[in-house]
Structure 1
């Protein structure tokens, strides 16, 4: 494996974090992140943001809010009864 450099590491960071790169590229990016503080910091921020968004997507609005929104949509003619 070889250090792929900042440009490639940053370009492919999202795919790397989602495990969407081949094992060779994954190893190269991991090696780069291990030796480049700037890219490692960027990866940390991206990973933290991705995890926060994933957690937020699992949350449900309170029942009272969902009923209120559905009623407003029906009143506006934007939802079926």
Structure 2
């Protein structure tokens, strides 16, 4: 398989780490192989994975307070009811 290169890998790295490159298995495989053979992209992938895990963990551990949720929903309903 051909190497997709650092530029392509870095452009698609966040989507790759989140598993969102599903349109083409070839692109996923090329990026995975490039990361395996490029120390610079390995480092960037490690940082991206670490950040993704930290953000996911932070978002799943905390929920908005009930009163804030109620206020936001009420405001959304008000905005939807306004004539356009």
Question: Same fold, TM exceeding 0.5?
Answer: yes
Q: CA offsets per residue over residues 2-61 of structure 1, 9 Å max, x none?
A: 211000000010111122222100110011001100001000000000000000001126
Is 1:33 matched with 2:50? Answer: no
Bigger fraction of residues in helix: 2
Q: Highest Rg: 1 or 2?
A: 1
Scaled by the length of structure 1, the TM-score of the pair is: 0.72
TM-score, normalised by the number of residues in structure 2: 0.70
Structure 1 portions without partners, runs of 5+: 74-78
Total equivalences in the alignment: 69
Structure 1 residue aligned with 2:17: 17
